[in-house]
């Protein structure tokens, strides 16, 4: 990968050979090399070779997105007691913070290291009041910390001087099989959620919260994505949906989801303080998207698992609020915990289409 000032590449490694690669453009994770059962180290995060590809990127590869992840519609919103017009950048919707969101910002970087040898990066970005239509200046801090237990701990904090909105996920695209694995169809996924948010034709939540029982959204038991995706609407277009764990964030990270690749034996457990998770199966990727190993990143070639607040919460009063205020900062933690597992999930659930 080639980057030049002012964009810099930062790499940190733990004692097990796990390597995290991050650039300050969009605070993006551009690589995450993880030990596999075969003895090889596998890069499980998809990305590009150079800055130009990231600047043209319309899929938010590896980026921190915000101020608010997901689609907001209508874009004229009430925040506090005032109306604001958010930037429209996806059909009639405001998506992932607008035209110039966190994914396009240059973040400051501080390398951090603790006594136990655990390394990390602290990245900061100041978003001025009025950016993409949002009120208040916002200082966002993202901490990436790689532990010797093969965990990547992601802490995201945001403070403001007036009421505004914040729901800030990382938008990494995972393929635990590495660049040689063309799709994620053999990945086995479970999501620890009893409910999900139905969406309309524009992939905006309708405001309902429904049980996953007897639906294609039931991932409480592990399911192979290659069996689940063909059951989705629009002739198996794929998942771009949000699962709900709770009506409020938790104080400490809790188990949220699990992904396993039989080919490499790499298992990723996701823990989070967020009230839910969005799974996106790379439905809009296409053959012209070329990755950093010259691999084709085609449709369903990767999966995103974005821990965040309920999408479009500002327009749905029954959803947990994503408002932040002075003295009430945004403060969330997500952990990606990697391990090597042989013959995981001997029995795989195949749900019938509801």
Question: What is the token pair recorded at 121?
Answer: 């990066």
Beta carbons within 10 angstroms of residue 13's beta carbon = 13
DSSP 328: B
Q: Which residue out of 94, 96, 125, 171 is catalytically annotated?
A: 171
306 annotated active-site: yes
Rounded to whole angstroms, the Cα distance separating 25 from 108 reads 9
171 annotated active-site: yes
Strand, coil or helix: 323: strand
DSSP conformation letters of 90-125: BTTBEETT-TT-GGGSBPEEEEEE-TTS-EEEEEEE
Beta carbons within 10 angstroms of residue 208's beta carbon = 12
Cα torsion for 132, 134, 139, 141, to the nearest 10°? -70
Q: Which residue out of 132, 151, 181, 306 is catalytically annotated?
A: 306
CA 49-55-56 angle, to 5 degrees, is: 90
- CB within 8 A of 225, min separation 6: which ones? 184, 185, 186, 187, 188, 189, 281, 300, 303
Active site residues: 171, 306
């Amino acid at each position: 990968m080639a980057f030049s000032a002012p964009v810099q590449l930062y790499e940190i490694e733990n004692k097990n050979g796990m390597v995290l690669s991050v650039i300050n453009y969009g605070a993006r994770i551009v690589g995450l090399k993880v030990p596999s059962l075969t003895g090889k180290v596998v890069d499980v995060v998809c990305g590009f070779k150079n800055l130009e590809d990231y600047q043209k990127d319309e899929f938010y590869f590896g980026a921190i997105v915000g101020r608010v992840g997901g689609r907001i519609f209508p874009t004229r919103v009430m925040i506090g007691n005032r109306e604001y017009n958010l930037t429209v950048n996806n059909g009639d919707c405001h998506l992932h913070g607008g035209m110039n969101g966190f994914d396009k910002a240059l973040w400051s970087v501080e390398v951090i290291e603790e006594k136990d040898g655990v390394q990390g990066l602290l990245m900061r970005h100041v978003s001025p009041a009025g950016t993409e239509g949002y009120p208040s200046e916002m200082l966002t801090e993202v901490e990436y910390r790689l532990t010797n237990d093969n965990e990547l701990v992601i802490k995201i904090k945001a403070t403001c001087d007036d009421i505004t909105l914040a729901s800030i996920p990382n938008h990494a695209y995972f393929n635990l099989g590495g660049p040689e694995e063309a799709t994620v169809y053999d990945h086995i996924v479970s999501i620890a959620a009893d409910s999900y948010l139905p969406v309309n034709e524009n992939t905006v939540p309708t405001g309902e919260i429904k049980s996953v029982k007897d639906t294609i959204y039931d991932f409480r038991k592990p399911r192979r994505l290659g069996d689940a995706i063909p059951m989705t609407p629009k002739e198996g277009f794929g998942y771009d949906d949000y699962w709900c764990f709770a009506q409020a964030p938790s104080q400490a990270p809790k188990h949220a989801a699990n992904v396993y690749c039989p080919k490499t034996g790499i298992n990723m457990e996701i823990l989070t303080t967020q009230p839910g998770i969005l799974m996106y199966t790379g439905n809009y990727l296409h053959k012209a998207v070329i990755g950093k190993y010259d691999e084709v990143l085609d449709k369903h070639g990767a999966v995103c698992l974005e821990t965040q607040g309920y999408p479009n919460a500002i327009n749905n009063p029954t959803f947990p609020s994503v408002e932040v205020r002075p003295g009430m900062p945004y403060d969330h933690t997500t952990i990606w915990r990697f391990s090597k597992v042989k013959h995981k999930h001997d029995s795989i659930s195949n749900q019938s289409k509801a």
